[in-house]
Amino acid sequence: MHVAHLSLTDFRSYDAVELGLEPGVTAFVGPNGQGKTNLVEALGYVATQSSHRVAADGPLVRHGAARAVVRSLIVRDDRRALVELEVNPGRANRARLNRSPVSRARDVIGLLRTVLFAPEDLAMVKGDPSERRRYLDDLLVARAPRFAGVRADYDRVLKQRGALLRTAAQARRGARAGRRAESDAAFAAAGAGDPLSTLEVWDAHLARCGAELLAARLALVEALRPLVTASYAALAPGSAPVDLDYRCSVPAAGPSPDGAEGSPPDAGTGREALEERLRSALAEVRSSELERGVTLVGPHRDDLFLGLGDLPARGYASHGESWSFALALRLAAYDLLRADGGDPVLLLDDVFAELDSRRRRRLAEIVAPAEQVLITAAVADDVPVELAGARFDVAEGNVTRVR
Ligand SMILES: Nc1ncnc2c1ncn2[C@@H]1O[C@H](COP(=O)(O)OP(=O)(O)OP(=O)(O)O)[C@@H](O)[C@H]1O
Ligand SMILES: [Mg+2]
């Protein structure tokens, strides 16, 4: 697949820009702060409806404007899809597909598939577990857009259950201090009747969506492991092997009747069994949850362990090793998406400047055959010769084709 046209209105630094694009390699070159990343960020947004740089949409809208519009013409085989997104911070986005409105903006997720490599990727290796969960969940959504719904449902249930737990924690403290009236008022304010039975309803919701997400992540990690290992070995030949392991907050099942130790959930655990485990794990931690007012088990507490040799990558790997690991995770995502059908569009934001010459060449060789590769670089020399292609200069809000 490739993007044939990108048009931005009030997106980031651009008031209006129109870009015709072709398959093959295209480089955007220009000094710092001129709007190169803004272009690839816009395409990433069409694919995932989120930015790799900011958690909320506010900064995506040009300062002083009320909304941004991103239009892209996507060509897959011989079919064309015109996807238009209106970014409305604080309100629901709106989307049109081939000029007809769709009922929910997320219905157009997945029409464009991208893999974005960016300096921020280093956080997948060095940063908090949330960065690695996001890597997994973004990839789930890219492979099967219905996971956008599963993820949104899980987040919603988590939020509502969290609110209930906080009310309950507050009421408990009130009751302990003998202020019964205050405790009753806290529940009344939350619209909750009997808090424990309400909590059970949310436990069931959480276990259901949580198990679906968990099962998908466990299977995904199995699929990724050999691909990440191979990509890392290709980028850093002779290095210690890498390891990938899903660390689940849902505890191992208890010992079976024959006394065998229980094992943690893995890709072989069925979705229903996961749901059951999640539900009983929630029951076990209930009193600590009521004490602290937060949900203590579930996919939102999990991590993807990354190992290099005998050590965890986080906290131990060198800067260069961490970079190779981050690249290997993205390349593995690219392999998986490609195996599902059709090349995703590759977006390489400022990555070559970070790499030594050998890894630069390896990465260039791996991505060169892709149907479309868009690269940003501050100086033209940062674009490897293997990736010679079309070029746009980006300066002062103008994007000008020079080759
Ligand atoms: N919402 C916004 N409204 C107006 N300008 C914005 C907005 N968001 C970002 N900018 C401007 O866009 C510019 C950054 O653009 P971008 O990140 O694309 O730069 P770049 O060309 O990739 O630079 P570098 O080479 O440093 O990575 C900054 O000058 C910033 O002030
Ligand atoms: Mg940039």
* DSSP calls for 84-140: EEEE-TTS--EEEETTEE-SSGGGGTTSS-EEEE-GGGHHHHHS-HHHHHHHHHHHH
Ligand nearest to the CA of 118: 2
| Tokens linked to 379 | 């100086």
259 pLDDT above the threshold of 60? no
Q: Separation of 180 CA from ligand 2 center, angstroms?
A: 57
Measuring from atom 5 of ligand 1, which residue has the nearest CA? 13
pLDDT digits (tens, 9 = 90+) for 171-206: 777 777 776 666 666 666 655 566 677 888 899 999
Taking the CA of residue 60 as reference, the ligand 1 atom at the shortest distance is 1
How confident is residue 97, by pLDDT bands cut at 50, 70 and 90?
very high
Taking the CA of residue 38 as reference, the ligand 1 atom at the shortest distance is 18
How confident is residue 391, by pLDDT bands cut at 50, 70 and 90?
very high
How confident is residue 370, by pLDDT bands cut at 50, 70 and 90?
very high
User: Cα separation of 124 and 278, whole Å?
Assistant: 26
pLDDT digits (tens, 9 = 90+) for 127-176: 999 999 999 999 999 999 999 999 999 999 999 999 999 888 877 777 77
Helix, coil or strand: residue 61: strand
Q: Separation of 39 CA from ligand 1 center, angstroms?
A: 10
Mutate which of 13, 120, 354 to test ligand 1's pocket (most atoms within 8 Å of Cβ)? 13
Res 260: pLDDT: 53
In this structure, the strands spanning 114-117 and 100-101 are unpaired
Query: Which positions ≥6 away from 40 have C-beta within 8 Å?
Result: 28, 116, 118, 347, 349, 374, 376
251 pLDDT above the threshold of 60? yes
Q: Separation of 333 CA from ligand 2 center, angstroms?
A: 22
Q: Separation of 20 CA from ligand 2 center, angstroms?
A: 20
Measuring from atom 24 of ligand 1, which residue has the nearest CA? 32
Q: Which range is least confidently modeled, 187-201, 235-249, 306-320, 360-374?
A: 187-201
Q: Which range is least confidently modeled, 139-153, 204-218, 266-280?
A: 266-280
Res 258: pLDDT: 55
Taking the CA of residue 35 as reference, the ligand 1 atom at the shortest distance is 18
Q: Return the percentage of the chain with pLDDT > 90, whole number.
A: 77
pLDDT, average across residues 292-307: 95
Ligand nearest to the CA of 378: 1
Res 138: pLDDT: 95
Measuring from atom 12 of ligand 1, which residue has the nearest CA? 13
- Element holding 8 (H helix, E strand): strand 2-11
Taking the CA of residue 59 as reference, the ligand 1 atom at the shortest distance is 1
Q: Residue 47 corresponds to which amino acid?
A: A
Q: Separation of 55 CA from ligand 2 center, angstroms?
A: 17
For 309, which DSSP code? T
- For ligand 1, residues with CB inside 6 Å are 12-13, 30, 32-38, 59, 61-63, 350, 376, 378, 394
| Tokens linked to 114 | 């991208």
Q: Separation of 73 CA from ligand 1 center, angstroms?
A: 24
pLDDT, average across residues 10-18: 97
Res 124: pLDDT: 97
How confident is residue 257, by pLDDT bands cut at 50, 70 and 90?
low
| Tokens linked to 53 | 């740089």
Res 255: pLDDT: 56
Q: Separation of 341 CA from ligand 2 center, angstroms?
A: 30
Taking the CA of residue 53 as reference, the ligand 1 atom at the shortest distance is 17
Res 8: pLDDT: 98
67 pLDDT above the threshold of 60? yes
Most trustworthy range by pLDDT among 195-204, 218-227, 378-387: 218-227
Q: Separation of 292 CA from ligand 2 center, angstroms?
A: 41
Q: Separation of 52 CA from ligand 1 center, angstroms?
A: 14
Taking the CA of residue 34 as reference, the ligand 1 atom at the shortest distance is 21
Taking the CA of residue 39 as reference, the ligand 1 atom at the shortest distance is 18
How confident is residue 81, by pLDDT bands cut at 50, 70 and 90?
very high
Q: Residue 209 corresponds to which amino acid?
A: C
CB 331 within 8 A of CB 284: no
CB 32 within 8 A of CB 13: no
Length of the chain, in residues: 403
Ligand nearest to the CA of 64: 1
Res 308: pLDDT: 96
271 pLDDT above the threshold of 70? yes
pLDDT digits (tens, 9 = 90+) for 99-117: 999 999 999 999 999 999 9
